[in-house]
Amino acid sequence: MATGCAHRLWRAGFPIVMTELPRPLCVRRTVSFAQTVYTGRLEVEGVRAVLAEAEEIPAVLAKGEIPVVIDPAGELVRSLRPWCVVDARLAKVNPGTRRDEAQLVIGLGPGFTAGEDVHAVIETARGHYLGRVIYTGPALTNTGVPGEIAGKSSERVLRATGAGTFRPLVEIGAEVKAGQLVAWCGRAPVTAAIDGLVRGMLHPGLEVSPGLKVGDIDPRGDRAMCRTISEKARAIGGGVLEAVLARLCGREPAA
């Protein structure tokens, strides 16, 4: 979701700096700028991001690339003092983001309340209101049930069946069948529940706990979807872009 937002803002002409954890748990890593933590750089639909140190940010931006800085404590927000902060962690609770961190603070999904801890909230639930900008109140309550894709919901998500080191056995983009062994979590096997293409899989070697999302199977069978931003991320990114432009153009609704 963060990459979808960064991509739309970058394409619209805004300079972007992204912060990340030392060991990000990104599942759709072929289209997630968080993957730069492991690979150093990544290009998604013509936009490039590179892993950088804080002092390298101006040089990376000058090259037309997005700097990704490992910053788990959020120190960059205080030192860079950006005009806009987008909390795209999707933590389902507010991890400490405040309205006074920037002139415009946007939160994605449940856990934030527009008008209180952030200026705007973007709806992240699939359905009629996906991508809507909310200026008063919260997003829809998290149900814990993944949205449907081609009639499949929870069964399309791969979850850790045990604790230990994650070892995928198939690559993103591979075709799998229901019942096929696709990964190990320590000594616990992970099998596919449906036929489809592997659209996401955690980076090998990460330590996982039972129930953690470790992969995603797409029943639609379109391999191009493994290399492009999802419709959900693109819609959410559009909501963020709308909120940014509304502030710049004075089109925010009155409180």
Name the H helices within the chain. 2-11, 36-39, 57-62, 75-80, 231-249
pLDDT at residue 255, as a whole number: 65
pLDDT at residue 222, as a whole number: 87
Give percent above pLDDT 70 in the chain. 100
Q: Same domain for 74 and 174? A: no
Q: Same domain for 65 and 90? A: no
Of the pLDDT bands very low, low, confident and very high (cuts 50, 70, 90), residue 147 is: confident
Q: Same domain for 34 and 63? A: yes
Of the pLDDT bands very low, low, confident and very high (cuts 50, 70, 90), residue 152 is: confident
Q: Same domain for 113 and 235? A: yes
The total number of structural domains in the chain stands at 3
Q: Of 37, 55, 79, which residue is a domain's last?
A: 79
Q: Same domain for 195 and 174? A: yes
Note whether 35 and 25 are within 8 A (CB).
no
- Can you tell me the mean pLDDT for 201-218? 96
Q: Is the pLDDT of residue 73 over 70?
A: yes
Q: Which two tokens stand for residue 101?
A: 């961190």
Amino acid, res. 53: E
Note whether 52 and 60 are within 8 A (CB).
yes
Q: Which two tokens stand for residue 87?
A: 């909390």
Q: Same domain for 252 and 128? A: yes
End-to-end CA distance of the chain: 27
Of the pLDDT bands very low, low, confident and very high (cuts 50, 70, 90), residue 146 is: confident
pLDDT digits (tens, 9 = 90+) for 99-137: 999 999 999 999 999 999 999 999 999 999 999 999 999
pLDDT at residue 145, as a whole number: 75
Of the pLDDT bands very low, low, confident and very high (cuts 50, 70, 90), residue 163 is: very high
pLDDT at residue 150, as a whole number: 79
Q: Same domain for 109 and 75? A: no
pTM metric for this prediction: 0.93
pLDDT at residue 221, as a whole number: 84
pLDDT at residue 149, as a whole number: 80
| Mean per-residue pLDDT of the chain | 95
Q: Of 49, 79, 109, which residue is a domain's last?
A: 79
pLDDT at residue 129, as a whole number: 96
pLDDT at residue 148, as a whole number: 80
Distances in Å between the Cα of 211 and the Cα atoms of 162, 169, 188, 202 are 8, 19, 12, 13
Q: Specify the range with the lowest mean pLDDT, choosing from 5-9, 90-94, 97-101, 180-184.
A: 90-94
Residue 87 lies in a domain: yes
Cα 134 to the chain's mean position, in Å? 19
**Distance in angstroms (rounded) separating the CA atoms of residues 202 and 166:** 8
State the residue range of the domain holding 100: 83-147+229-255
